[in-house]
Structure 1
Amino acid sequence: MLVQLQYIRALAALLVVYFHAILQLRTIDPSAVLGVALFGKSGVDVFFVLSGFVMWVTTSGKPITALQFYGKRIRRIVPLYWAVTLAAAAVALVAPQILKSTVFDAQHVAASLAFLPWINPADPEGRMIAPVIVPGWTLNYEMYFYLIFGALLFIRPRFRLALLVATLAAIAALCSLASMQTTATTFYGNPIVFEFAAGAVLGLLYLRGFRIGTTVAVALAVVSTALLLVFDFLELPHERLLTIGLPAVLIVFAMTSIDFTRVRELRLLRFLGDASYSIYLTHIFVLAGWRMAYSHLPEGILTNQYILVASMLLASCIVGGLVHLMFELPVDRYLSGRKPPKPAAEPAFALAGNNSKLDQSAGS
């Protein structure tokens, strides 16, 4: 188990939560100074790279069939995603004023549950391709990656990576060259899909023992993280694959070159990494609730913009952590037929960390 992967997951999830927290702050107080510090969407690029890395490392050299692979991925991704999707759809139907980015539409709900790209009816311009749970657009890509990756498992590893890249490139090219652009061609033709392939390349290099020195790796991780955040903030008019995707690749490469077995484990960060999928999917509910509660708070309580954003981050982590412990883990154990772990005299976050697996997806 590479504990640094969980650290990266945790920080990537917090970046996404921060990004949406700032958007909520702008809604609450358009004049807030902190509102200009909008960045964090790059967290999903890190998730994509991690996903490719993990998929390659956990399947290479192992006798796993496509059906077994799909089963694990479905068991990992679907239950929680369907639960929050149906919950959001119900809220949109009963109390549409709560979720600003969700409008109930039966076809949209069905497409969301099927992980199909669909125009979100809440977008007045009719351009946003996103499911009921807006951050779930990344899961539509994840399922696309899994579909292709699993189909190639019968190919020898030496050819598998080349075919993976070639397949993604061919589909992206066909989508870009299509005479009529549709929601599907726009979605699957996005170069962001190559972040997954880049992660698989890193997985191949890792298994072959390719590393850089610790000092160089630490420096590369720091510089790459800085570039990621700066380019994220600046929103340069260049291809996202280069401005954000490349730094994300370098971060994962640098972090997997460092031997963390000699460093004391950061259990809380490890747990947040384990719970990153739950945090990612549930934080929009937390932030929406925070926005609604804000107008009813007494003067002086959480009205400080910095405290407000920090409280949003903290609440999202707490709720996501609880969902991870009370829903995600039990459901996964039930569906996989595994028995619950024996009680131990350790904190809850330590228990969750000890039971996490390397093949958890980015969801990431």
Structure 2
Amino acid sequence: MCVQLQYIRAIAALLVVYFHAILQLENLNPDAPITDGLFGKSGVDLFFVLSGFVMWITTSDKPQSVADFWWKRVRRVVPLYWAVTLAAAFVALIVPQILRTTQFDVPHILASLAFLPWLHPADPAGEMIAPLIVPGWTLNYEMYFYLLFGLCLLVPVRHRIVAVTALIGSVFLVANLVPESTAARFYGDTVIFEFVAGMVLGRIYKAGVSLAAPVVAVGVALGFGVLVFNDYNDFDLPRLITIGMPAALIIFFSTAIRIPDLKAWRWLRLLGDASYSIYLTHIFTLAGSRMIYPWVIGTLQSDTLFVVLMMAMSTAVGLASYFLFEVPVGRILSSGNLPRFVRPAKVRNV
């Protein structure tokens, strides 16, 4: 696996944390100058393209059953997500004032645990499609992609990208033809094709495409420049075009070169390893930051330093979650001590 993928995961997670930190500060002090620098939602698009890329390069030459693939995805995604969802539900029930954008609603909680798109009951406009843990909307797309990708493992490798694209495209087309509904709005969003872009890039990578270091550096820099520019300006165009395409550009150039696992960059690799924990737990940290805001501002006299502090705290909590929950639970679930799906005999892909 390319070590640079972990670097990009870390950057993607920090972008999302920054985005939500600015939104939190905007609630606390709308006049803070730093709130004008709102960007970072594009970290999600990097995750989507990366998911398609990783799913392709880890399965294209390693035959596995559909059930085994799904189990690996479930044990990777579900434990931490269910833990934070149930924790948020408990907080919403006992001390709802802590999580102001969260309500205890049983149908919503069940839909969240099942990765089903659902209108968030805390949205006064009744338009936001999100689970109890709002950033978890991305996991609804992830699990949807894993479902379709897993089914297409039954298809020969040479036809697999076409098969996945056809499935995603068919659902997308139907969702845009039927009367508007929550499911139609969710599955009819072009953002889902960012996973397809990742698969295509994975195939290019497996073909051995390689570029010179200066070309890679310019390409990655250009990609991030366009990504942040479009993210900040929030153009009224499909997200696939404005953010998805530069995200794909970044993944293409960053994987077009082989780099060693440099010791000086291992802290970034560690953040990449913990990116899932950082992503899911940071909303709790940011919610808690409301309580310390008056003290921090009274002491530091700087909204910018408050944002930096929120990002540092979110990273620390995410790392703690990674080492204390994600790693040990993942080790238990991947051990041979638990019942596993019955695996059919492996068949060589053609």
Alignment TM class, shorter chain as reference = over 0.9
- Which residue pairs with 1:101 in the alignment? 101
Listed as ranges, the matches of 1:90-169 within 5 Å are: 90-169=90-169
Shift of 1:165: 0.9
Q: Give the whole-Å Cα distance in 1 for the aligned partners of 2:246 and 2:199.
A: 16
- Which residue pairs with 2:65 in the alignment? 65
Matched, 1:327 2:328: no
The answer to whether the 8 Å contact 1:10/1:272 transfers is: yes
The answer to whether the 8 Å contact 2:19/2:41 transfers is: yes
Deviation digits for residues 285-331 of structure 1 (CA, Å, limit 9, x no counterpart) = 00000112223x17632441111000000000000001000000000
* Secondary structure of the corresponding residue to residue 285 of structure 1: helix
Alignment gaps of 5+ in structure 1: 340-364
Matched, 1:280 2:279: yes
- Which residue pairs with 2:42 in the alignment? 42
**Equivalent residue letter for 2:317:** V
Q: Give the whole-Å Cα distance in 2 for the aligned partners of 1:25 and 1:190.
A: 29
Q: Give the whole-Å Cα distance in 2 for the aligned partners of 1:76 and 1:5.
A: 17
- Which residue pairs with 1:307 in the alignment? 305
TM-score (norm 1): 0.91
Q: Give the whole-Å Cα distance in 1 for the aligned partners of 2:319 and 2:261.
A: 27
The answer to whether the 8 Å contact 2:296/2:306 transfers is: no
- Which residue pairs with 1:337 in the alignment? 335
Deviation digits for residues 262-306 of structure 1 (CA, Å, limit 9, x no counterpart) = 7555111010000000000000000000112223x1763244111
Q: Give the whole-Å Cα distance in 1 for the aligned partners of 2:72 and 2:79.
A: 12
- Which residue pairs with 2:216 in the alignment? 217
- Which residue pairs with 2:225 in the alignment? 226
- Which residue pairs with 1:86 in the alignment? 86
**Equivalent residue letter for 2:196:** A
The answer to whether the 8 Å contact 1:98/1:292 transfers is: no
Deviation digits for residues 68-94 of structure 1 (CA, Å, limit 9, x no counterpart) = 000000000000000000000111111
- Which residue pairs with 1:193 in the alignment? 192
Q: Give the whole-Å Cα distance in 1 for the aligned partners of 2:173 and 2:46.
A: 24
- Which residue pairs with 1:316 in the alignment? 314
Matched, 1:266 2:268: no
Q: Give the whole-Å Cα distance in 1 for the aligned partners of 2:300 and 2:91.
A: 26
Tell me how large the CA RMSD over aligned residues is: 1.3
The answer to whether the 8 Å contact 1:231/1:243 transfers is: yes
Q: Give the whole-Å Cα distance in 1 for the aligned partners of 2:156 and 2:147.
A: 17
- Which residue pairs with 1:350 in the alignment? none
Shift of 1:95: 1.1
- Which residue pairs with 1:256 in the alignment? 255
Deviation digits for residues 45-79 of structure 1 (CA, Å, limit 9, x no counterpart) = 00000000000000111121110000000000000
- Which residue pairs with 1:356 in the alignment? none
Q: Give the whole-Å Cα distance in 2 for the aligned partners of 1:161 and 1:107.
A: 35
The answer to whether the 8 Å contact 2:297/2:303 transfers is: no
* Secondary structure of the corresponding residue to residue 118 of structure 1: coil
Deviation digits for residues 198-249 of structure 1 (CA, Å, limit 9, x no counterpart) = 0000001100112332211110100110100010000011111111000000
The answer to whether the 8 Å contact 2:3/2:261 transfers is: no
Alignment gaps of 5+ in structure 2: 338-350
* Secondary structure of the corresponding residue to residue 257 of structure 1: coil
* Secondary structure of the corresponding residue to residue 282 of structure 1: helix
Q: Percent identity among equivalent residues? A: 54
The answer to whether the 8 Å contact 1:34/1:305 transfers is: yes
Q: Give the whole-Å Cα distance in 2 for the aligned partners of 1:118 and 1:90.
A: 19
* Secondary structure of the corresponding residue to residue 99 of structure 1: coil
Consecutive aligned runs of 4 or more in structure 1 exceeding 4 Å deviation: 262-265
Q: Give the whole-Å Cα distance in 1 for the aligned partners of 2:201 and 2:159.
A: 16
- Which residue pairs with 1:358 in the alignment? none
Distance 1:262 1:132, change over 3 A: closer
Q: Give the whole-Å Cα distance in 1 for the aligned partners of 2:264 and 2:206.
A: 23
Q: Give the whole-Å Cα distance in 1 for the aligned partners of 2:261 and 2:130.
A: 42
TM-score (norm 2): 0.94
The answer to whether the 8 Å contact 2:117/2:140 transfers is: yes
Q: Give the whole-Å Cα distance in 1 for the aligned partners of 2:300 and 2:228.
A: 27
* Secondary structure of the corresponding residue to residue 104 of structure 1: coil
Q: How many residues align?
A: 337
- Which residue pairs with 1:241 in the alignment? 240
